[in-house]
Amino acid sequence: MSKANAPQVAKLLREYAQRTALRGGNPYYRAKAYSRAADSLAALAEPLDRLVEEERLTEIPGVGEAIADIITKLHGTGTHPSLEKLRKELPDGVLEMLTVPGLRPEKVLRLYKDLGIASLADLEAAAKDDRIRKAKGLGAALQTKVLQNLAIAKGGEGRRHMHRAAALLEHAKAALERTRPQLRHVTVAGDFRRGCELVADLALVAEEPGPQKKPATLDSSDLKIYVADRKHFGAALLHATGSPEHLEQLRALAEKNGMRLEPDGLHKGRSVVAAKEADIYRALGLPSSSRNRAKDAAKSSGRRRGNCRSWSPTTTCTASCTVIPMPPTAAGEDGEGDAPARLPVFRGGRPLEVRPLRRRTFGRADRAAASGSQPA
């Protein structure tokens, strides 16, 4: 039997967390600890097999001895006795309702037991039929909240708040630099680099010294690692950061100007005319400064799609259409220098410092969950 990989174990551990939260009388802190450990597993920068074999699971943020034992069992067998026991108590569809913002486990359990609601589809139908408002202990306020937040639940699966993503990316960056010391200029990309408040894709770009070669992508659970040589680093950073819509706009603009945009840079005929991020924008006739690039992209996408608020230096992107690059490194925006020691996160226009994840757990309650008693 093949062993479960990091994404599979993270999914199982997240299910474990959800079922634990829905079990009456179970401490909520335990489910929260499992969920945080699952997030950390999803952003691993090195193989889970190696961590298990070398007994280094407790190096993962949020993982203590007890959770390490659970992960080992999930990795080896694809299940856990306690998880199998929990699965007999509630159908899978009930877990879907936990994705609705503001719908706490006790309310989800009440909806299932009192109204027989066992999925998001059932929940939407019950809310539209006015059944939740009439139920004792639920009421009109909950029904209104459900109707308002169902769309978020359907479209926000797998997304993390930018503060949580910042901590996961910082840990992944440090782990990658430790396990693959030959990589240089490891830089954060993806949704986080664009300033999105909800981050779906966790991405890093790194430079690998050696013979020139086209950029390659390494998939590590939910984390994507783009590796390129020095010549193609800037182009890899552009493709790892830009949303599909933005990259499509750049390709169309390149084609209009007799060029083509590819993962290794901007081509004209057989020649690469630009390989750095700033040079590509400049060759396409776009402003070369980070601020103007982001502003123009936001305005253009906002007019076309109507899903971006106006960009300014004191706002961030809530959609997936704007490119807001990270601050330049010491020696240039294309990674030719040391990366910032902290990943900047902005709230109300003011930068906040995001501290690294703790080595083990996240608080007194979570420490007890990660190193205390085994799961029920």
Indicate the average pLDDT of the chain: 75
Whole-angstrom distance, CA of residue 144 vs CA of residue 155: 18
Give 218's strand partners. 225
286-325 tens-digit pLDDT: 875 443 444 444 444 433 333 333 322 222 333 333 333 3
Strands 265-268 and 260-262 turn out to be antiparallel
Q: What is the DSSP letter of 287?
A: -
CATH code, 91-157: 1.10.150.20
Helix then strand then coil, in percent of the chain rounded to 5, is 50, 15, 40
Q: Does 12 score more than 90 pLDDT?
A: yes
Structure tokens of 268? Answer: 């004209």
The full set of domain ranges for the chain reads 1-89+357-376, 91-157, 160-341
Cβ–Cβ < 8 Å for 63, 37: yes
pLDDT for the residue 304: 36
- Name the CATH superfamily housing domain 1-89+357-376: DNA polymerase beta, N-terminal domain-like (1.10.150.110)
Whole-angstrom distance, CA of residue 235 vs CA of residue 95: 41
Q: Tokens 């909806």 — which residue?
A: 111
For domain 160-341, the CATH architecture is 2-Layer Sandwich (3.30)
Whole-angstrom distance, CA of residue 20 vs CA of residue 375: 9
Q: Do domains 91-157 and 160-341 have the same CATH topology?
A: no
pLDDT for the residue 73: 94
Reported pTM: 0.63
Contacts of 143 (CB under 8 A, 6+ apart): 127, 130, 132, 133
Which whole number is the average pLDDT over 162-191?
86
Whole-angstrom distance, CA of residue 17 vs CA of residue 364: 18
Contacts of 120 (CB under 8 A, 6+ apart): 93, 96, 97, 99, 100, 150, 153, 154
287 compared with 101, residue with greater pLDDT: 101
